[in-house]
Amino acid sequence: MNGDGDTAGPSVRRLSEWNADDLRALAAEYGTPLYVDDLERVRANHARLAGAFPDAEVLFAVKANAGRHVLRALRDAGAGAECASAGELARALDAGFAAGEIHYTAVNPPAEDLDYAVDVAAAHPALTVTAGARDTVERLAERGFAGRFCLRVHPGVGAGHSESVSTGKDAKFGVPADEASEVLNTAADHGFDVVGLHAHAGSGITNDQLDDHERVVSTLADVARETTHNLEFVDVGGGFGVPYRESEDPLDLAAVAERTRDALTDVDATLTIEPGRYLVADAGVLLTEVNTVKRVSGSVIAGADAGMTTLVRPAMYGSYHPIRSLADDDRATEEVSVVGPVCESTDVLGEARALPAPERGDLLAVGNAGAYGVEMASNYNSRPRPAVVALDDGPELVRRRETLADVTHAEDTAHTYPDP
């Protein structure tokens, strides 16, 4: 089953398919830089994924896009929430997710985060708390935790779009597989209700990395078969990739689902998956305006009002995002590098892109910006973060643009001594 159809729509939405007139109108009304999230596409992506995994529990990885509008759309579509921090847990609850629909899966959680999660679990016993280290198990016990417990396993195999996100082979994540049974027993001895196992290969898994994904699931299945605990679920993580480059094919979900099920043969537990990027990446674009054009030594540089503080993935991971000019006149095409306003050489949204010859005032759209875009935006260079508009019945401003006063608010409200 490939999931394509009237409900789920095409398996990939290319940047060229966004309506240029609509995007120009949004930029004119709300300014730039501007993130635009299409909630209909978010729901379609969820329907396609749920269709490929009909018997699985689908938890949205909140770190991909924690906007309340996105969380509520996915909650209403039937998804649960996977939260990697106390803040994400608070936002999931605020968005209306029931505690039984939430997994808290923090890595090396700070004390304040763990305190909050244990308090939530005490008030809402249906919450599932995942730990990936022996110390975290002991820290939970010290806080009197006695709720639903899941163990994160380190499979030693990773995959993803970058070594930076290939978490499955990073020892930071999870308990080694050969120690998992012992740690599960320790958790049970502390009075935890052992309900599940978890592992994750990485972020942005592609069709040519399915062997690695299956090896991760197989490792998790071996632990599940070995344990004497009655597991409710086996959580194989997410990381389902999307095609960022125009030439890339979409992920073969049917193949991913088949190989996942094959690896879990004879495991008597519900399959849980944690997609993030797959649900929201191609549902979002970033709009930015060209304010400076340089032609130097044969190079064409378009300076825009969005940069690495708005979308950090190109600078951090070397990630590719498609870029489209929304200029409505017919110009010759040039190789253009689109750069931002930050005082860093890495502040580049795209290099040597075939675009109409840029002019000041041109509007550019950056594709696949719905995942890890606004979530990773920062105030570096003391720049206010951008606004976000959601498209559903009509456009709605769901996050206002920050002001300079917002940038200094934490300092302005932190005074403990009288001004001199």
Q: Which residues are annotated as a binding site for substrate?
A: 277, 313, 317, 344, 372
Label residues 8-32 b or e (16+ Cβ within 10 Å = b).
bbebbbebeebeeeebbebbeebeb
Cβ 391 vs Cβ 38: under 8 Å: yes
d(CA 221, CA 236): 10
Which residue numbers belong to the known binding site for pyridoxal 5'-phosphate? 239, 274-277, 372
Tokens, residue 69? 């509008």
Annotated catalytic residue 343 = yes
Binding site listing = 239, 274-277, 313, 317, 344, 372
- Give the C-alpha separation, 114 to 144, whole Å: 11
* Separation of CA 258 from chain center: 24
Tell me how far apart the alpha carbons of residues 37 and 323 are, in angstroms, rounded to a whole number: 16
Burial 344-381 (b: 16+ CB within 10 A, else e): eeebbbbeebebbbbeeebbbbbbbbbbbbbbebeeee
End-to-end CA distance of the chain: 69
DSSP per-residue codes, 139-162: HHHHTT--SEEEEEEE-S---SSS
Q: Are the CB atoms for 259 and 42 separated by under 8 Å? A: no
- Find the angle CA(123)-CA(129)-CA(130) to the nearest 5 degrees: 175
The string of DSSP letters for 93-112 reads: HHTT--GGGEEE--SS--HH
Query: Quick check: bond before 33 cis, omega within 30?
Result: yes
Pairing outcome for strands 348-356 and 299-304: unpaired
Active-site entry in 123, 343, 405, 410: 343
Q: Annotated catalytic sites, by residue?
A: 343
